[in-house]
Amino acid sequence: PLSPVLVDCLVSAPGKAILHGEHAVVHGKVALAVSLNRRTYLHLKATSDGTVCINLPNIDTFLCWNLSELKQLLEAGQRLDFDLLKRLRDFMGLTNGNLDTSNMATLTFLYIYMSLFGSGELPSLKVSVWSELPTGAGLGSSAAYSVCLAAALLCASGAIPAPLKEWHQEDLELINSWAFQGEMIIHGNPSGVDNTVGTWGGMLRFLAGKIIPLSRVPLIRILLTNTKVPRSTKVLVARVKDRINKFPPIMIPVLDTVDAVSSTCEKVLTEMTREPITGEHYNTLEELIDINQHLLNVMGVGHPALDMVCRVTLAKGLHSKLTGAGGGGCGITLLRPETDSAIIQSTMQDLKDCGFDCWETSIGGPGVQQHSPFSIKEEILEILNRYGVPRVTEQEDGLTL
Ligand SMILES: Nc1ncnc2c1ncn2[C@@H]1O[C@H](COP(=O)(O)OP(=O)(O)O)[C@@H](O)[C@H]1O
Ligand SMILES: C[C@@](O)(CCOP(=O)(O)O)CC(=O)O
Ligand SMILES: [Mg+2]
Same domain for 58 and 109, yes or no, is: yes
Q: For strands 210-213 and 203-207, give the pairing.
A: antiparallel
Same domain for 172 and 297, yes or no, is: no
Look at residue 199 and tell me if it is in a domain.
yes
Residue 30 is part of which domain span? 9-212+365-386
Same domain for 200 and 292, yes or no, is: no
Compute, in angstroms, the gap from residue 374 CA to the centroid of ligand 2.
33
Contacts of 255 (CB under 8 A, 6+ apart): 24, 27, 29, 244
For 358, the enclosing helix (H) or strand (E) is strand 357-361
Identify the pLDDT of residue 76: 54
Q: Is the CB of 59 under 6 A from ligand 1?
A: yes
Q: How far apart are CA 270 and CA 281, in angstroms?
A: 11
Same domain for 203 and 101, yes or no, is: yes
What amino acid is encoded at 179 in this protein? A
Q: For strands 330-335 and 221-226, give the pairing.
A: antiparallel
Identify the pLDDT of residue 128: 96
Compute, in angstroms, the gap from residue 187 CA to the centroid of ligand 3.
6
Same domain for 245 and 310, yes or no, is: yes
Q: How far apart are CA 33 and CA 323, in angstroms?
A: 10
User: Are 19 and 51 within 8 A, CB to CB?
Assistant: no
Same domain for 200 and 274, yes or no, is: no
Same domain for 101 and 168, yes or no, is: yes
Hey, which of 141, 183, 332 would you mutate to test ligand 1's pocket, going by the most ligand atoms within 8 Å of its Cβ? 141
Ligand 2 neighbours by CB, cut-off 6 Å: 22-23, 25-26, 138-140, 142, 187, 190-191, 193-194, 233, 237, 324-325
Identify the pLDDT of residue 96: 65
In the chain, helix, strand, coil percent, each to 5? 45, 20, 35
Identify the pLDDT of residue 4: 56
Look at residue 205 and tell me if it is in a domain.
yes
Q: How far apart are CA 73 and CA 107, in angstroms?
A: 13
Identify the pLDDT of residue 78: 43
Contacts of 179 (CB under 8 A, 6+ apart): 143, 146, 147, 149, 150, 195, 198, 199
Same domain for 369 and 349, yes or no, is: no
Q: Is the CB of 104 under 6 A from ligand 1?
A: yes
Identify the pLDDT of residue 97: 64
How far is the CA of 46 from the CAs of 66, 126, 385, in angstroms? 14, 6, 14
Question: In the Cβ-directed half-sphere of 85, how many Cα atoms lie within 13 Å?
Answer: 15
Look at residue 2 and tell me if it is in a domain.
no
Same domain for 272 and 329, yes or no, is: yes
Contacts of 332 (CB under 8 A, 6+ apart): 17, 19, 222, 223, 224, 225, 289, 320, 321, 323
If one counts the domains in the chain, the total is 2
Identify the pLDDT of residue 79: 45
Look at residue 394 and tell me if it is in a domain.
no
Q: How far apart are CA 301 and CA 299, in angstroms?
A: 6
Identify the pLDDT of residue 80: 45
Q: Name the region of 320 (left: φ>0; alpha: ψ -120 to 50; beta: rest).
A: beta
pLDDT beneath 50: ranges in the chain: 1-3, 77-80, 389-401
Q: Report the Cα 80 to chain-centroid distance in Å.
A: 24
> Which CATH number characterizes residue 170's domain?
3.30.230.10
Look at residue 104 and tell me if it is in a domain.
yes
Report, as residue numbers or ranges, the catalytic residues. 142, 194
How many helices, marked H, and strands, marked E, lie in the chain?
A: 12, 12
User: Are 158 and 174 within 8 A, CB to CB?
Assistant: no
User: Are 183 and 142 within 8 A, CB to CB?
Assistant: yes
User: Are 116 and 80 within 8 A, CB to CB?
Assistant: no
Which atom of ligand 1 has the smallest separation from the CA of 131? 1
pTM to 2 decimal places: 0.93
Edge-to-edge strand ranges of the sheet holding 330-335? 320-322, 330-335, 221-226, 357-361
| 65-123 tens-digit pLDDT | 999 999 888 865 444 477 888 889 999 988 766 678 999 999 999 999 999 998 888 99
Look at residue 92 and tell me if it is in a domain.
yes
Compute, in angstroms, the gap from residue 181 CA to the centroid of ligand 2.
14
Q: How far apart are CA 273 and CA 218, in angstroms?
A: 6
End-to-end CA distance of the chain: 18
> Which CATH number characterizes residue 308's domain?
3.30.70.890
Look at residue 393 and tell me if it is in a domain.
no
Same domain for 206 and 249, yes or no, is: no
Contacts of 375 (CB under 8 A, 6+ apart): none
Residue 250's CB is within 10 A of a number of other CB atoms, namely 11
Phi first, then psi, for residue 18 (nearest 5°) are -90, 120
Same domain for 101 and 118, yes or no, is: yes
How far is the CA of 225 from the CAs of 118, 191, 330, 332, in angstroms? 42, 24, 5, 6
Same domain for 198 and 59, yes or no, is: yes
Ligand 3 (ion): which residues have CB within 5 A? Answer: 142, 233
Q: Is the CB of 226 under 6 A from ligand 1?
A: no
Q: How far apart are CA 255 and CA 241, in angstroms?
A: 11
Look at residue 392 and tell me if it is in a domain.
no
What amino acid is encoded at 89 in this protein? R
Identify the pLDDT of residue 74: 81
| Predicted-complex ipTM score | 0.99
